[in-house]
């Protein structure tokens, strides 16, 4: 079953197409024009990255994982729903995996 759009519907479709093409042109232009500005060595974030890595892999990260496991265990016992417990385990393990992925992406060479 096909519905006719008529002249008004075709104009709206054209306007949407022109708007989307213009938007895409602006996005591409904004990503290409400042290219020399963000082409650097990336050393300005090393302090923040090492601090974040220390938090996650250090005592603060271990404490957060234990708190997540404790809360998940308590909620699982009260609600009798094991998904809370397994969600806490996945969250605890996932934090360590995400940090490993982030470190590998910062040290990757092409």
Does residue 72 contact residue 85 with C-beta atoms inside 8 Å? yes
Segment 12-22 shows an average pLDDT of 89
Task: Give the pLDDT confidence of 35-80 residue by residue, as tens digits.
Answer: 666 656 667 777 877 787 777 777 887 787 788 888 888 888 888 8
User: Which pLDDT does position 30 carry in this prediction?
Assistant: 77
Q: Look at residue 64 and give its three-state secondary structure.
A: helix
Q: Indicate the number of domains in the chain.
A: 2
- Which whole number is the average pLDDT over 84-109? 75
Note whether residue 109 is domain-resident.
no
Rounded to whole angstroms, the Cα distance separating 37 from 22 reads 24
Q: For residue 57, which of 2, 9, 4, 99 has the smallest C-alpha distance?
A: 99
Token pair 């990255």 is at which residue? 49
pLDDT at 5 over 70: no
Q: What does the pLDDT read at residue 99?
A: 72
Structure tokens at 88: 């806490």
Predicted local distance difference test score (pLDDT) of residue 109: 62
* Domain with 71 in it: 44-104
Query: How much is the pTM?
Result: 0.43
- 21 and 57: one domain? no
pLDDT for residue 35: 64
- 62, part of any domain: yes
């Amino acid at each position: 079953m096909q519905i006719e759009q008529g002249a008004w519907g075709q104009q709206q479709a054209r306007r949407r197409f022109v708007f989307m093409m213009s938007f895409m042109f602006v996005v591409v232009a904004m990503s290409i024009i400042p290219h020399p500005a963000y082409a650097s060595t990336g050393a300005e974030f090393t302090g923040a990255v090492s601090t974040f890595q220390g938090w996650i892999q250090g005592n603060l990260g271990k404490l957060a994982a234990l708190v997540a496991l404790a809360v998940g265990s308590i909620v699982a016992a009260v609600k009798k729903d094991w998904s809370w417990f397994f969600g806490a385990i996945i969250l605890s393990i996932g934090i360590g995996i995400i940090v490993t992925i982030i470190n590998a992406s910062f040290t990757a060479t092409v």
